């Protein structure tokens, strides 16, 4: 092994980049940040798919993952494989979720994650260019956030907001105001076309620190565990060389899919699964890979009358509607989004209206197909197996269909192509759609759930410390007890802020 580092961080994504930036503020901590994908230190040499915040990067910096949203289907699951992680390839939606989301986490035995506490981290991470003067916003953080003004909205998004008013929804100028709901512009971490990823906001200014080393194109195969303690990681370079690196503390921030996969390959997980795969059991930890939570979604597809409004180089998304399902006690548990374009360039001019379930009761699971670190895990979301999810998504889909019949947006629509107008569209038929073909909002989380040690499904405590191993912290979307009522971009960055600050200010808690 090389000379030990104080901290090795596995994964330079939305949380790992933040933690690297925060802990290296202490010049006495030697930190190694490992990333399986490439690194682009110079923004001028960064590939266009990472700069282009108008759309996701789907292939060039992707893990090639797949998931099974419902039984019998497998769908591509884009996840960022590059410094910045998924924050470097996503659509830059900067929603926080509801205060109740985090208070629910606290009620499960994670008191440090109550809304009043995480609000401090949300404020610290952002530079809100529209509402930075408000006490529930920040104005000096590394992640710049703004909303499209009306003059910058595409015609379909202007029409969407107009139809929302006609349908009785209130205007919402700031979807991150804690009590807000209704329709308005999305808060987004982008400046023009430039995506303000964690590689841009956090890593760029931290690179000059001599106590931070970033190693890209380095795959972590497994953790090195001796006598109940994680003492380092086994890594593989692109040339195939396998070595071990040691540290006083390992922080696992590889994301909700790869963090549990690394733990499973290291012998930490459900005993029966590990034995079936021929992996030596280090710790029988039943919760590893369980509790997978995400946002099921289903879209209405429309052919438009005026082909000139469909531009595949324009922003994919600009607006949002957040509201509460009839009879639900979960505020803003539904979301409808206008998607600027769909289909393929050169095909029929189309846009979509997405209905998204934001508060999910159902849970899926992640498991390994085999112990090969080059084989992606099997991801079963099991969407809409809980009838509470089906009922509310059906209602949301009907509400999305109402936009095609109301006001300015309806005036843009020549024909609804999905659902097929010739087929039944009653509640039972829509429920069938949901169970067969709903898809992910690309927000997986919960697979290494945090909670007290008397929770049999909890893998880490509220500070990210692994219950059954010393020397290991998990800090990414996998520790969320459930998906927040928001795209998870900002919540992952917030997790990095929370645990990064604890590592910096309370190192003895982590054995440093």
- 161: how many CB neighbours lie within 10 A of its CB? 25
Q: How many angstroms separate the CA atoms of 64 and 50, rounded?
A: 17
CA separation for the pair 52, 49 (Å, rounded)? 5
Nearest to 175 by CA among 283, 69, 332, 48: 332
Rg, the chain, Cα only: 22
b/e for 463-497, b at 16 or more Cβ within 10 A?
bbbbbebebbbbbbbbbbbbbbbbbbbbbbbbbbb
- Reported as type and span, the H/E element at residue 432 is helix 427-437
Q: How far apart are CA 415 and CA 421, in angstroms?
A: 9
Burial of 71: CB neighbours in 10 Å, binned 0-12, 13-18, 19+? exposed
CB 128 within 8 A of CB 138: yes
With a CB cutoff of 8 Å and minimum separation 6, the contacts of 99 are 115, 119, 178
Our measurement of the distance from residue 102's CA atom to the centroid of its chain's CA atoms, rounded to an integer in Å, reads 16
* Cα–Cα distances in angstroms (integers) from residue 244 to residues 29, 231, 235, 466, in the given order: 20, 10, 6, 21
Question: Which residue, 192, 172, 168, is CA-closest to 180?
Answer: 172
Q: How far apart are alpha carbons 186 and 93 in whole angstroms? A: 7
Q: What six digits make up the tokens of 281?
A: 């059991």
Positions marked catalytic: 443
């Amino acid at each position: 092994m090389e000379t030990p580092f104080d901290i090795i961080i596995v994964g330079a994504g939305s949380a790992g980049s933040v933690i690297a930036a925060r802990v290296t503020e202490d010049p006495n901590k030697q930190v190694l940040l490992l990333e399986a994908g490439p690194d682009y230190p110079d923004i001028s040499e960064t590939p266009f798919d990472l700069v282009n915040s108008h759309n996701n990067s789907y292939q060039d910096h992707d893990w090639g993952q797949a998931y099974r949203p419902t039984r019998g289907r497998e769908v591509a699951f884009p996840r960022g494989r590059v410094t910045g992680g998924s924050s470097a390839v996503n659509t830059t939606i900067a929603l926080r979720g509801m205060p109740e989301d985090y208070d629910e986490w606290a009620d499960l035995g994670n008191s440090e994650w109550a809304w009043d506490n995480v609000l401090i981290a949300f404020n610290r991470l952002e530079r809100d260019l529209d509402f930075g003067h408000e006490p529930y916003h920040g104005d000096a953080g590394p992640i710049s956030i703004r909303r499209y003004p009306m003059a910058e909205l595409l015609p379909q998004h202007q029409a969407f907001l107009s139809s929302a008013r006609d349908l009785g929804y209130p205007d919402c100028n700031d979807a991150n105001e804690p009590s807000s709901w209704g329709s308005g512009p999305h808060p987004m971490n982008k400046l023009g076309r430039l995506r303000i990823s964690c590689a841009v906001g956090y890593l760029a200014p931290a690179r000059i620190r001599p106590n931070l080393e970033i190693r890209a194109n380095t795959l972590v195969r497994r953790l090195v565990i001796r006598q109940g303690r994680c003492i380092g990681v086994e890594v593989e370079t692109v040339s195939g060389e396998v070595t071990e690196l040691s540290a006083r503390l390992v922080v696992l921030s590889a994301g909700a899919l790869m963090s549990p996969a690394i733990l499973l390959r290291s012998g930490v997980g459900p005993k029966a699964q590990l034995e079936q795969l021929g992996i030596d059991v280090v710790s029988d930890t039943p919760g590893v890979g369980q509790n997978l939570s995400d946002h099921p979604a289903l879209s209405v597809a429309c052919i438009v009358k005026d082909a000139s409004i469909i531009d595949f180089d324009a922003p994919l998304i600009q607006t949002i509607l957040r509201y509460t399902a009839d009879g639900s006690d979960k505020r803003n548990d539904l979301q409808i989004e206008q998607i600027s374009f769909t289909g393929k360039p050169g095909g029929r001019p189309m846009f979509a209206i997405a209905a998204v379930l934001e508060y999910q009761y159902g849970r899926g699971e992640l498991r390994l197909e085999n112990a090969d670190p080059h084989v992606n895990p099997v991801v079963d979301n099991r969407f809409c197996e809980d009838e509470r999810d089906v009922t509310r998504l059906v209602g949301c889909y009907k509400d999305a269909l109402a936009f095609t019949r109301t006001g300015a947006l309806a005036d843009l629509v020549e024909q609804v192509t999905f659902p097929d107008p010739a087929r039944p569209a009653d509640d039972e038929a829509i429920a069938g759609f949901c169970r067969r073909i709903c898809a992910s909002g690309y927000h997986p989380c919960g697979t290494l759930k945090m909670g007290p040690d008397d929770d049999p499904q909890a893998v880490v405590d509220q500070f990210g410390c692994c219950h059954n191993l010393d020397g290991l912290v998990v800090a990414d979307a996998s520790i969320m007890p459930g998906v927040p009522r928001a795209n998870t971009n900002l919540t992952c960055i917030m997790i990095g802020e929370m645990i990064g600050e604890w590592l910096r200010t309370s190192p003895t808690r982590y054995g440093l």
